[in-house]
Structure 1
Amino acid sequence: MKKIFISLAVIIACLAAGSCGNKKNPMEENLTTVLIETSKGNIKVALYDETPLHRNNFIKLCSNGTYDGVLFHRVIGDFMIQTGDPDSKNAKPHELLGGEDPDCPTIPAEFRFPQYFHKRGALAAARQADSVNAKKESSGTQWYIVTGKKYKPEQLREYEINMDLDKKMKLIEKGKKERMKEIFQLRKEGKKEEVQNIYEQIEDNAQMEVAKHPFIRFPQNIIDTYVNVGGCPFLDSQYTVFGEVLEGMDVVDAIQYVKTDPAKRPLEDIKIIKVTVNKPSNK
Structure 2
Amino acid sequence: MISALFYLAFLLFGFQQDPPIRVEMVTNYGTIVLQLSDETPLHRDNFVKLVKKGVYDSLLFHRVIGGFMIQGGDTQSKYADSLASLGSADLPYQVPAEIVPNLFHKKGVLAAARTNNPQRASSSTQFYIVQGKIQNDSLLAHNEGRINKMLARHYGVNDPANKPLVDSLETARTEKDSVLEKELDLRLNAILDTYWNFDKYAIPEAHRQVYKTVGGTPHLDQNYTVFGEVISGLEVVDAIAAVDTDGRDRPLSEVRIISMRIL
TM-score with structure 2 setting the length: 0.76
Instruction: Give the conservation status (yes or no) of the 8 Å contact 1:100–1:139.
Output: no
Aligned to 2:141: 157
Q: Which amino acid aligns with 2:129?
A: I
Aligned to 1:227: 212
What's the offset of the Cα at 1:217?
1.2
Q: Indicate yes or no: 2:94 matched with 1:106.
A: yes
Deviations 1:203-223 (A, max 9, x none): xxx65x44xx11x21111100
User: What is the DSSP-based 3-state SS (H/G/I as helix, E as strand, rest coil) of the residue aligned with 2:207?
Assistant: helix
Query: How does 1:117-132 map onto structure 2 within 5 Å?
Result: 117-129=104-116
Aligned to 2:120: 136
The structure-2 alpha-carbon separation of the partners of 1:268 and 1:153, relative to structure 1 and needing over 3 Å to count, comes to same
Instruction: Give the conservation status (yes or no) of the 8 Å contact 1:94–1:265.
Output: no
Please tell me the root mean square deviation across aligned C-alpha atoms, in Å.
2.7
Aligned to 1:272: 257
- Find the aligned partners of 2:246 and 2:121 in 1 and give their Cα distance: 28
Aligned to 1:259: 244
The structure-2 alpha-carbon separation of the partners of 1:63 and 1:164, relative to structure 1 and needing over 3 Å to count, comes to closer
Instruction: Give the conservation status (yes or no) of the 8 Å contact 2:150–2:223.
Output: no
Q: Which amino acid aligns with 2:120?
A: K
The structure-2 alpha-carbon separation of the partners of 1:172 and 1:92, relative to structure 1 and needing over 3 Å to count, comes to closer
What's the offset of the Cα at 1:154?
2.9
User: What is the DSSP-based 3-state SS (H/G/I as helix, E as strand, rest coil) of the residue aligned with 1:275?
Assistant: strand
- Find the aligned partners of 2:153 and 2:261 in 1 and give their Cα distance: 46
Instruction: Give the conservation status (yes or no) of the 8 Å contact 2:134–2:216.
Output: yes
Instruction: Give the conservation status (yes or no) of the 8 Å contact 2:151–2:223.
Output: no
Aligned to 1:63: 52
Q: 1:72 aligned to 61, 83, 99, which one?
A: 61
Q: Which amino acid aligns with 1:117?
A: F
Query: How does 1:92-103 map onto structure 2 within 5 Å?
Result: 92-102=81-91
What's the offset of the Cα at 1:86?
1.4
Aligned to 1:245: 230
Query: How does 1:10-29 map onto structure 2 within 5 Å?
Result: none
User: What is the DSSP-based 3-state SS (H/G/I as helix, E as strand, rest coil) of the residue aligned with 1:154?
Assistant: helix
- Find the aligned partners of 2:26 and 2:67 in 1 and give their Cα distance: 22
Report percent identity of matched pairs. Answer: 42
Q: Which amino acid aligns with 1:135?
A: Q
Aligned to 1:116: 103
Unaligned runs of 5+ in 1: 1-28, 181-201, 279-283
Q: Which amino acid aligns with 2:95?
A: I
Aligned to 1:281: none
User: What is the DSSP-based 3-state SS (H/G/I as helix, E as strand, rest coil) of the residue aligned with 2:227?
Assistant: strand
Deviations 1:34-56 (A, max 9, x none): 00000010000000001000000
- Find the aligned partners of 2:150 and 2:30 in 1 and give their Cα distance: 41
Query: How does 1:197-212 map onto structure 2 within 5 Å?
Result: 207=196, 209-210=197-198
Instruction: Give the conservation status (yes or no) of the 8 Å contact 1:127–1:137.
Output: yes
Residue correspondences, number: 219
Higher helix share: 1
User: What is the DSSP-based 3-state SS (H/G/I as helix, E as strand, rest coil) of the residue aligned with 1:145?
Assistant: strand
TM-score with structure 1 setting the length: 0.71
Query: How does 1:86-97 map onto structure 2 within 5 Å?
Result: 86-97=75-86
Instruction: Give the conservation status (yes or no) of the 8 Å contact 2:99–2:222.
Output: yes
